[in-house]
């Protein structure tokens, strides 16, 4: 119920119509706080499995959650749906056992399966076996505004051995997720990954195992015939691999229970993306190979938009009218994202 309706009901119940205008105004003031979204960022134990969590809450309800720490292979961001259901893949069950198809893909995440330096070669995509490095969050600088909650994690990418000076750090990173709900209709996540090489580093692999990706819940893998994608430039084609010099955005349509959602990833023109990777089971993202010298920065910016949408008219496929509407919405959001980068 919208706040003004609450106020009118209160006025009627309290019979304020016989009171002064000042009393009526005070009744509205009493209700006004209900109209303001209350954003909080809370550090806690991960309630859905091993490790720790940082929740971004709006009015006490989880909108997003960073999962990290002991028992987790990498930090990643969960996104929650309309009634608090997960729309992203947890990868593990509550006992910490791997669950579902390709469970190393989790939420919104970054990684490369070939990270090479003078400390050796490491798989920072799959993680969890011999020769694997690790992500170590050394501190948080979280904050809120009246319209958003932000998680800022300072992360060290560590090798399994040390150099002559005793350092095992390959990369230092400042990762930011600014979570908001523009208009209250969708979840927007502005994501920045500020990497700094602590030694000469090569970030490589292949487009299926490198870059910044989104993975929908493992339920989607069982319903992969119901998923569909849009992307811009729309003329670019590819069965799981799309090559183009001007990648702008990609959008996945997928089911969770009886609901339908879209997840859009928007690419900053400065990221240097050449390839898009997508799979029908709900994992997609941009391939970003890079060689960086010691001390050099490598900064990446993406925006994600996740929302519940109407069921496909020709289930599981959208009608032409629905597709056009979704394309226009994605274009508007991308244009707003690019403008925000200026």
Q: Looking at the predicted structure, is the pLDDT value of residue 23 above 70? A: no
**Could you list the residue range(s) of the whole structural domain that residue 242 is in?**
110-340
**161: helix, strand or coil:** coil
- Distances 24 to 5, 12, 36 between C-alpha atoms, Å: 14, 10, 20
- Average pLDDT value for residue range 254-279: 97
Contacts of residue 153, Cβ cutoff 8 Å, sequence gap at least 6? 54, 66, 68, 75, 137, 139, 140, 173, 174, 175, 176
User: What pLDDT, on the 0 to 100 scale, is given for residue 131?
Assistant: 65
In a domain, 40, yes or no: no
**Position 63 in a domain:** no
Answer yes or no: is pLDDT of 261 > 90: yes
Q: Which residues contact 219 (CB under 8 A, 6 or more apart)?
A: 255, 256, 257
Whether residues 25 and 114 share a domain: the answer is no
**CA 210 vs CA 30, 133, 203, 286: distances in Å:** 52, 15, 8, 8
Per the structure, the count of domains in the chain is: 2
Q: Is the pLDDT of residue 31 over 70?
A: no
C-alpha–C-alpha distance, residues 317 and 323, integer Å: 9
Both 152 and 14 in a single domain? Answer: no
Are 275 and 149 contained in the same domain? yes
In a domain, 259, yes or no: yes
Query: 317 or 7: whose pLDDT is higher?
Result: 317
Residue 117 in domain: yes
* Confidence (pLDDT) at 143: 96
**pLDDT confidence of 132, banded at 50, 70, 90?**
confident
Same structural domain, 27 and 125: no
pLDDT of residue 127: 72
Is 329 among the domain residues? Answer: yes
Report if residue 159 sits inside a domain: yes
97 in any annotated domain: no
Is the pTM for the entire model greater than 0.85? yes
pLDDT at 5: 42
Give me the pLDDT at residue 221, please: 95
CATH number for 117:
2.70.98
The predicted pLDDT at position 134 comes to 92
pLDDT digits (tens, 9 = 90+) for 159-209: 999 999 999 999 999 999 999 999 898 999 999 999 999 999 999 998 889
State mean pLDDT over 268-296. 96
DSSP assignment, residue 96? S
Confidence of residue 3 (pLDDT cuts 50, 70, 90): very low
pLDDT tens, position by position, 68-104: 999 999 999 999 999 999 999 998 888 888 888 888 8
Kindly state whether residue 168 falls inside one of the protein's structural domains: yes
Q: Rounded CA gap, 342 and 337, in Å?
A: 9
Greater pLDDT, 262 or 11: 262
């Amino acid at each position: 119920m919208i706040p003004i309706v609450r106020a009118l009901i209160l006025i009627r119940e309290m019979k304020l119509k016989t009171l002064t205008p000042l009393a009526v105004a005070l009744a509205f003031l009493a209700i006004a706080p209900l109209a303001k979204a209350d954003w909080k960022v809370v550090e806690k134990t991960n309630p859905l499995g091993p490790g720790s969590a940082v929740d971004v809450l709006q009015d006490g309800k989880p909108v997003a959650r960073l999962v990290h720490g002991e028992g987790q292979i990498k930090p990643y961001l969960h996104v929650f749906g309309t009634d608090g259901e997960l729309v992203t893949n947890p990868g593990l069950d509550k006992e910490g056992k791997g669950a579902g198809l390709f469970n190393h893909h989790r939420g919104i995440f970054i990684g490369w399966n070939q990270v090479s330096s003078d400390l050796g070669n490491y798989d920072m995509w799959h993680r969890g076996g011999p020769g694997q490095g690790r992500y170590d969050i050394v501190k948080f600088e979280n904050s809120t505004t009246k319209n958003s909650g932000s998680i800022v994690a300072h992360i060290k990418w560590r090798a399994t051995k040390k150099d002559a000076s005793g350092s095992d750090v390959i990369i230092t990173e400042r990762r930011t997720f600014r979570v908001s709900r523009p208009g209250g209709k969708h979840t927007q996540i502005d994501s920045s990954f500020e990497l700094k090489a602590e030694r000469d580093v090569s970030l490589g692999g292949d487009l299926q195992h490198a870059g910044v990706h989104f993975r929908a819940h493992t339920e989607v893998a069982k319903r992969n015939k119901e998923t569909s994608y849009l992307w811009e430039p729309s003329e670019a084609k590819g069965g799981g691999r799309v090559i183009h010099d001007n990648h702008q955005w990609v959008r996945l349509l997928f089911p969770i229970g009886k609901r339908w959602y879209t997840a859009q990833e928007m690419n900053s023109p400065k990221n240097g993306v050449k390839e898009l990777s997508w799979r029908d089971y709900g994992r997609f993202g941009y391939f970003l190979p890079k060689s960086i010298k010691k001390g050099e920065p490598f900064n990446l910016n993406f925006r994600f938009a996740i929302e519940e949408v109407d069921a496909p008219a020709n289930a599981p496929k959208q009608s032409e009218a629905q597709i056009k509407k979704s394309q226009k919405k994605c274009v508007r959001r991308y244009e707003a994202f690019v403008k925000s980068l200026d």
